[in-house]
Amino acid sequence: MIKNRRNIRDDGKEKENISKDFMQQLLELHWRGDEKNSLSINEVKALLLDMMVAGTDTVPTAVEWAMTELLCHRDKMTKLVKELDMVVGNQNTVEDSHIPQLVYLDAVIKETLRLHPVAPLLIPRVPSKTTVIGGFTVPKGCRVFINAWVIQRDPELWDDPLRFHPERFLETDINYRSNNFGFIPFGSGRRICVGVSLAEKMMALLLGSLVHSFEWGLSEGTKPSLEDKIGIVLKKTESLVGIPVARLPNLEQYQ
């Protein structure tokens, strides 16, 4: 795609005919030629890769973890289905306008991200000066990884921390942007993930639609695995395999 955009420019075609999307904005910074403000082609590729990895792999991974937990805890699945039926109804599909009313769905997503943070070590930080934190010296210029996976399972911060219990988020005002450093799936402070608002909506729409539109089962004698494999993105060791059965009355709702 980058090559095609560069060919269009080299052919002398009018820039106005090119979509001013994110890639085009980056390429124009590359073409600017200003040493202080321009981007190298490697920097353009790195930024595009960051956007792809952060925006396309994380949401489906989080929803797969949520579905796994719900299939392991049928009582939670039933409670979520009841909320979706009450708020959305069986004549509609899940829309943006429903999300603020789906408080249990929000709690399920938060509890999923607490137990299975998609970015378990967040994004590396580099301190601009040597600092002492908690009695430990953090040298200037070192690379710091924050282990959100361990923090969010800390028994000193959470009651029964290994239990999947979305109700804990109904009893508190903890959210992604609060100053509660025991819950940091998107990081915190000024460097919090810039895509947190988009991720909230995407996860709610995707998970809500899957649970609202289908009844989910498993192959006989099987149980979803909760084992994970550590990496930049926290994935399941074994992919979830579920069996969906349509539960809405009108087939046009599935188009």
Binding site for heme, residues? 193
The H or E element that residue 133 is part of is strand 131-133
The owner of tokens 């609060």 is 178
Q: 245 has which bridge partners? A: 215
The owner of tokens 């999300």 is 99
> How is residue 168 annotated by DSSP?
G
CA 3 to chain centroid, in Å, comes to 30
Binding residues: 193
Q: Note whether 153 and 162 are within 8 A (CB).
A: yes
Indicate the SS3 state at residue 112. Answer: helix
Beta strands (DSSP E) in 117-248 are 131-133, 136-138, 214-217, 228-229, 235-236, 243-246
Length of the chain in terms of residues written? 255
